[in-house]
Amino acid sequence: MSDTERHRTQYTGAEREISPLVRGRGLRKEYGSAEGLVRAVDDVDLDIAPGETLAIMGPSGCGKSTLLHLLGGLDRPSTGQVWLGGQRLDTMSERELARLRRSSVGFVFQAFHLMDELTAVENIELPALLAGCSPRAARRRARDLLEQVEMSDRATHLPSALSGGQRQRVAIARALANEPAVVLADEPTGNLDSGATLEVLRLFDRLHAAGQTLVIVTHDERIAATADRLVSMRDGAFVDETRLAGGTGNLSSLIGIEA
């Protein structure tokens, strides 16, 4: 049995009986050609069950973010297949991918990527408006989400008037606007201090407890420790998998951050 085959059986979560929400098979993403060829993701197989929180770790440039983009339909694999909720993403048109992202995927980015000219509540309601929701319903949902992320008092603030942690909470609320099947978070605490990191992790913990499927790319072992499962990447490939206890519980002590 080759290393690749061994890894495939090891990381596909085959022992879980529930059919996976997200599935990747033979995922490969290449840039350049000939001598300049870079394989950002190299033959990755992956299953993520509904309600599961998966952490992906690895050094910078190992392909974590690229993999996340492939799983969320932001990018297309060079070869391989991706399914989300039973729908195959890699054969979809750009329009179909956009519709799928709108309804089934929520993104949280390290750089927040909020619209500078929109207030917190306007940022959060944007995905609902793009999905054709009525302005009234979109605003109601946005206010509910602001309350969930404990940001109601900052609803009319522009991103420039918010701290990093607050911006990320707004970004998380925005990711949940259309009640997505999966939330993909790319280094969600990479730009945050310890206090803000704790705020964000508490949110993820609550989402986990509520059964939200989460994929978190991170550098930080303490954050990865809150996941159900941790996979490590190196040079575009999975090199290790660890099943963890999960994040619900005494988060502060678990990750070693004092509130």
Partner 1 sequence: MGGRLRLVARLAGRDVHRRWSEALLLVLAIAAGSATLTLGMLLHNVTTQSSGQSYSQTQAATRGPDLVAQSATLDNGTTSPADLAALVALSHAKGVVASSGPYPMATADLRTPTVTGGATVEGRSESPAAVDQPLVTAGTWVRPGGVVVERAFAQAAGVEVGQVIRLNGRAFTVDGIAVTAAFSPYPQIGCFAGCFGPQSFANDAVGLLWTTEAGARSLATASAPLTYFSNLKLADPTQATAVANAQDNNNYTKNPGSPNGPYLLSAQQIAHEDNNLIVNEQIVVLVGSTLLTILSIASVAVLVGGRMADQMRRVGLLKAIGGTPGLVASVLMAEYLFLALVGAAVGLLGGWLFAPLLSSPGSGLLGSAPRPPLTVSSVLIVAGVALGVALVAALVPALRAAQTSTVRALADSARPPHRSALLVRLSARLPVPLLIGLRVMARRLRRTTLSVLSIFVTVSGVVAVLIVHGRLNSAEFNGVSGLVNPRTTRANEVLLAVTVGLVVLAAVNAVFITRAIAQDARHASAVTRALGATPQQVTAGLSLAQMLPALIGSLLGIPGGFLLYNAAKHGGQSETMPPVPELLAVIVGAVLLVAVLTAIPARWGARRPVASILQAELA
* Interface residue list for partner 1 (CB under 8 A): 65-66, 69, 74-75, 94-95, 98-99, 101-103, 107, 109-111, 113-118, 122, 125-127, 129-132, 135, 138-139, 158, 160, 174, 178
Residue 196: which of 232, 168, 174 has the closest Cα?
A: 168
- Least distance to partner 1, CB of residue 109, Å: 6
Residue 106: which of 24, 208, 176, 23 has the closest Cα?
A: 176
Tokens representing 154 are 């900052």
Residues 6+ apart with CB under 8 A from 144: none
- Asked if 30 and 40 touch (Cβ cutoff 8 Å), the reply is yes
Burial 113-145 (b: 16+ CB within 10 A, else e): ebeeeebbbbbbbbbbbeeebeeeebbebbbeb
Nearer to partner 1, 215 or 254 (CB): 215
- Least distance to partner 1, CB of residue 133, Å: 10
- Least distance to partner 1, CB of residue 74, Å: 5
Nearer to partner 1, 74 or 257 (CB): 74
- Least distance to partner 1, CB of residue 116, Å: 6
CA dist 64 and 4 (Å) reads 18
Q: What number of other Cβ atoms are within 10 A of residue 93's Cβ?
A: 8
Residue 55: which of 214, 200, 193 has the closest Cα?
A: 214
Nearer to partner 1, 102 or 143 (CB): 102
- Least distance to partner 1, CB of residue 64, Å: 12
Nearer to partner 1, 145 or 255 (CB): 145
Nearer to partner 1, 102 or 206 (CB): 102
Nearer to partner 1, 32 or 132 (CB): 132
Tokens representing 41 are 């993701």
Nearer to partner 1, 114 or 196 (CB): 114
Question: Mutual orientation of helices 135-148 and 120-130 as an angle, nearest 10°?
Answer: 130
Residues 6+ apart with CB under 8 A from 107: 72, 74, 101, 175, 183, 184, 185, 186
